[in-house]
Amino acid sequence: MSNQLFDAYFTAPAMRDVFSDRGRLQGMLDFEAALARAEAAAGLVPHSAVAAIEAACQAERYDVRALADAIATAGNSAIPLVKALGKVIATGVPEAERYVHLGATSQDAMDTGLVLQLRDALALIEADLGKLAETLARQALQHADTPLVGRTWLQHATPVTLGMKLAGVLGALTRHRQRLQELRPRLLVLQFGGASGSLAALGSKALPVAEALAEQLKLTLPEQPWHTQRDRLVEFASVLGLVAGSLGKFGRDVSLLMQTEAGEVFEPSAPGKGGSSTMPHKRNPVGAAVLIGAATRVPGLLSTLFAAMPQEHERSLGLWHAEWETLPDICCLVSGALRQAQVIAEGMEVDAERMRRNLDLTQGLVLAEAVSIVLAQRLGRDRAHHLLEQCCQRAVAEQRHLRAVLGDEPQVSAELSAEELDRLLDPAHYLGQARVWVARAVAEHQRLTA
């Protein structure tokens, strides 16, 4: 539900418009107008009635508060809306009122209206994902060779690059975009089954009307109605859950890199952004908080949709109702996370010098593996590993740089020259395939975008 205090923070305005009260009503009204046109084409509704029905199918003509009060008694939104629609039509063209909602059931209007909303929501999400992916691709290429310490179990590990970290996010988003493309034809389908799914009320005209209705709404006609088969909606929500999780990972890493002790990457600064009510010096990761918040909330909402799948017979009691706000909330949360992620990716501030200093916090220990790998080829793996372990322990105990300790160790200097040691202990020379990973992730993105 709309919450004016927090909507601007957690939800993109365009997505909120899709799932506003007006958006929900208009989706159902678009179904009713298209149904009248389809039934007129099949000879069930006189063409003279269509214009009156279409004219009344404008959400602005209905009192949302009155409909909301009526839903509490009716049990769904379509019942009072169809009644109100009939009354509006009857005031102008009384004979047209009898043709409203002919052969349809409430869930047909609500589910097809939802699919129309989801089509708009999907377009917004795909556009935002594409824009974010393009930004991440650009930043990954720019920072393909910007070294920073890798962290495993939250401890310093071997060096990576900022571009490599960003390419990891890019790769995930590319896969999510592919998933959305693949599910699109399964999601954007008509729901039209009548009372129990058989369309018996329309007799021999059932399939012609269904086909015309799908064509009117630019939806696919599925193999059968899906009143209590909710896999299409849950599949879409599941992919959004994956998107939220990947964005949460991005937000988590950015927030950790922004920590005072790291200070390597920052969200873009702006007047009043990330401040504290009491501490003037604070620069909080307020955008990352939205990404992490969405990644925390969406799984719980997704579990509701999974729990609502075993719906009873041909029309569910309560489980269908549990979907009504859940799926829109997921769309809204993901939209807000995408918007904040774009702000972060577009304007991130990178302190490469701080990254270099942090790489040297352990005085060369993060590059012990590089030396060990080379020595293993000359001394044997176990001997080299044991030797490097001893040197690392000595460096820590004596608070000396590993380079100095290695230079003083005869077993090392007998195998490695000073120049070799200098090179092995330079983070820029131990980045492995980081640049390759960036190039491959960007290439995958570009193939999908082309």
Angle, CA 166 vertex, CA 161 and CA 169 arms, to 5°: 140
Domain boundaries, the chain: 106-356, 365-424
Tracing tokens 């701080």 back to the chain, one arrives at: 354
The three-state (H, E, C) secondary structure of 242-307, written as one string: HHHHHHHHHHHHHHHHHCCCCCCEECCCCCCCCCCCCCCCCCCCHHHHHHHHHHHHHHHHHHHHHH
Which residue type sits at 134? E
CATH number assigned to the domain with residue range 106-356, chosen from the 4 options 3.40.50.300, 3.40.190.10, 1.20.200.10, 1.10.15.40: 1.20.200.10
Q: What share of the chain is helix, strand, coil (3-state, %, to 5)?
A: 70, 5, 25
Strand 349-350 vs strand 155-161: parallel, antiparallel, or unpaired? unpaired
Which residue type sits at 324? W
Query: What one-character DSSP code corresponds to residue 311?
Result: -
Q: What is the pLDDT of residue 1?
A: 45
Q: What is the pLDDT of residue 271?
A: 63
Considering only CA atoms, give the Rg of the chain: 30
Tell how far CA 417 is from the center of its chain. Answer: 51
246 is catalytic: no
d(CA 345, CA 287): 10
Q: In 93-205, where do the E strands start and end?
A: 147-152, 155-161
Q: What is the pLDDT of residue 274?
A: 56
Q: Which of 2, 196, 276, 413 is catalytic?
A: 276
Query: Would you list the DSSP string of 165-200?
Result: HHHHHHHHHHHHHHHHHHHHHHHSB----TTTSS-G
Tracing tokens 């950790």 back to the chain, one arrives at: 256
276 is catalytic: yes
Strand 349-350 vs strand 265-266: parallel, antiparallel, or unpaired? antiparallel
Which helix (H) or strand (E) segment holds residue 350: the answer is strand 349-350
Encode burial over 187-203: b for 16+ CB neighbours within 10 A, e otherwise: bbbbbbbbbebebeebe
User: Would you state the structure tokens that stand for residue 358, as one six-digit string?
Assistant: 């942090």
Give the C-alpha distances (Å, rounded to integers) separating 407 from 293, 319, 392, 422.
49, 70, 12, 10
Q: What is the pLDDT of residue 291?
A: 98
In this prediction the pTM is 0.94
pLDDT along the chain (450 residues), means of 10: 74 94 97 98 95 97 95 94 96 94 97 98 98 98 97 96 98 98 98 96 97 98 97 98 98 97 91 55 85 98 98 95 96 97 96 96 95 94 94 95 94 93 94 97 96
In the three-class reduction of DSSP (H, G, I as helix; E, B as strand; rest coil), residue 317 is classed as: coil
Angle, CA 418 vertex, CA 416 and CA 424 arms, to 5°: 70
Which residue type sits at 209? V
Contact indicator for 177, 129 with CB cutoff of 8 Å: yes
Strand 155-161 vs strand 147-152: parallel, antiparallel, or unpaired? antiparallel
Single out the residue of 392, 378, 382, 381 nearest to residue 420, CA to CA: 378
Check the CA dihedral 359-360-366-370 and report its sign: positive
User: Would you state the structure tokens that stand for residue 398, as one six-digit string?
Assistant: 């004596």
Query: What one-character DSSP code corresponds to residue 220?
Result: B
d(CA 139, CA 166): 7
Helix axes 106-142, 231-258, angle to 10 degrees: 30
Q: Which of 315, 356, 400, 423 is catalytic?
A: 315
Contact indicator for 160, 166 with CB cutoff of 8 Å: no
- Long-range (24+ apart) CB contacts under 8 A made by 376-381 are 378/415, 379/411, 379/415
Tracing tokens 């501490």 back to the chain, one arrives at: 279
- The CATH superfamily assigned to 365-424 is Fumarase/aspartase (C-terminal domain) (1.10.40.30)
